[in-house]
Amino acid sequence: MIIKPSMRSNFFTNAHPLGSEQFVLEQIKEAKASPPFKGPKNVLIIGGSSGYGLASRIALAFGANANTINVSYESGPKGKRTGSAGYWNNLYFQKHANETNTTHIDFLGDAFGKETKAIITKTIKETFGHVDLVIYSLAAGGRRNEETGDIVQSHIKTMGEPIHGKTIDIKSEKLIDITIDNATDQEIKDTVFVMGGSDWQDWINYLDKAEVLSEQAKTIAYTYIGGPTTQSVYRHGTLGQAKTDLEQKAKTLNTLLAKTYKGEALISSSKAVVSKASIFIPQMPIYVSCLYDVMLKADKHESILAHKYRLFKDMVYGENRLTDKENRIRVDHIEMEPSIQKATNNLMHSLDDNTLFDLKGTKHFLQQFYKISGFGYSNIDYEKDIDLDTLNTSLRDNAQIIE
Ligand code: NAI
């Protein structure tokens, strides 16, 4: 199959496996060039096939020599479908992690389900005995309500007046008008159900009851706070409500882990980056492009890997933890510097439809977005025919995948 980028509504409907290998390798290269650190031994990552979960997995496997189990919702190649980028990321992570002499297992399935929790717990017992870190990095558009069988959808809406703004249409590289509607109470509730902290809590309770958490076990989930520019669309919107719930659940989980294991439950506020999930937040592509531009110019830009590496090395396991009054780890402090926020906001308001696309930050944003699905690598021949079945079989023969 010859694989060319295919996009619908800012979503790649395909992925290029050889580009996904480059995507994983770029992060591995960065991790290997960073100073090693003492971290966890056995890590469970929920949502580790892309974005922040994958960067966390690579940072810990290559920086701290950790074993990992990853749960993600990804699909392999079938017929005319190339398989998702996250699917190939998992396989290539396993291929290249072989050199670390650590153990890595991938489970492909629905992390929200009880069955998944049972299989993973059994796998932990049989392979590692215990885990000492659980990372919750899910970004999902929907969640099955196990009591009713219904699929509950999350919504990206505001909670004040509707917002009229713009976002980037990536395929045409044009700015398009968007309106972000006001959420109903039900939509807020549903978003909290999908993206809030209840499933994280279910996971930790499940692992606790099954006695697979080790002494001093930690768990961490990722929130976003953002500044005044993103306030109305994010923190004062449905996603912000879900994150408030996640942060509340951290307090309950912290009490449990501290009491039973002398451990802790943490929230890290991470910086805005390009990911499969963040692209769906209206206005965010413009904000992130301008933020990248400002941070690149100020020589303060951090890659997704570098961001997570610093989180674990300095703040989760190191001595340089920065927290706010809510006890959230503020690894996003560079994005939040008043001068960075002010310059980003000014830049956003000084641009027109054309000048935005001339920015170095926007070019970087678009390049990263293509790379997430394995496109845009100069060392890949995108005209070359790839036998996906043969590639898939050979990678899977050397990987531990449970479906
Ligand atoms: P992403 O879309 O790159 O990754 C999401 C992960 O969740 C993937 O591994 C996917 O397979 C998995 N997933 C989704 N539904 C699943 C299901 N039902 N069962 C199993 N796995 C499932 O997302 P990203 O951006 O890395 O987000 C991760 C977390 O980080 C989210 O909580 C997000 O709010 C948070 N965050 C993201 C920021 C950003 O700018 N991207 C900024 C700050 C926080």
Quickly list DSSP for 301-312: ---HHHHHHHII
Q: Is the CB of 139 under 6 A from ligand 1?
A: yes
| pLDDT, mean of residues 79-91 | 97
In this predicted structure, what is the pLDDT of residue 280?
79
Lowest mean pLDDT among 30-39, 243-252, 352-361: 352-361
| pLDDT, mean of residues 136-157 | 95
Element (H, E) at 297: helix 284-297
Range with the largest mean pLDDT of 28-42, 157-171, 226-240, 353-367: 28-42
- Report the DSSP pairing between strands 264-269 and 401-402: unpaired
In this predicted structure, what is the pLDDT of residue 283?
83
Lowest mean pLDDT among 65-74, 278-287, 302-311, 357-366: 278-287
Decide if pLDDT at 257 tops 90. Answer: yes
| pLDDT, mean of residues 40-65 | 98
Decide if pLDDT at 368 tops 80. Answer: yes
277 vs 110 pLDDT, higher one? 110
Decide if pLDDT at 63 tops 80. Answer: yes
Q: Is the CB of 23 under 6 A from ligand 1?
A: no
Domains of the chain listed by start with CATH number: 7-141+187-273+304-334+382-402 (3.40.50.720)
Tell how far the Cα of 182 is from the centroid of ligand 1, in angstroms. 24
In this predicted structure, what is the pLDDT of residue 160?
83
Tell how far the Cα of 54 is from the centroid of ligand 1, in angstroms. 9
- Round to the nearest angstrom and report the end-to-end CA distance of the chain: 25
Decide if pLDDT at 277 tops 90. Answer: no
30 close to 55: Cβ distance less than 8 angstroms:
no
Tell how far the Cα of 53 is from the centroid of ligand 1, in angstroms. 7
Distance CA 218, CA 112 (A): 20
| pLDDT, mean of residues 128-141 | 97
Decide if pLDDT at 329 tops 90. Answer: yes
54 close to 307: Cβ distance less than 8 angstroms:
no
| pLDDT, mean of residues 99-128 | 97
Decide if pLDDT at 24 tops 90. Answer: yes
pLDDT confidence tier of residue 402, bands split at 50, 70 and 90: very high
Residue 110 phi/psi, 5-degree rounding, is -85, 110
In this predicted structure, what is the pLDDT of residue 90?
98
Q: Is the CB of 388 under 6 A from ligand 1?
A: no
Q: Is the CB of 94 under 6 A from ligand 1?
A: no
Average pLDDT, the chain: 95
Decide if pLDDT at 401 tops 90. Answer: yes
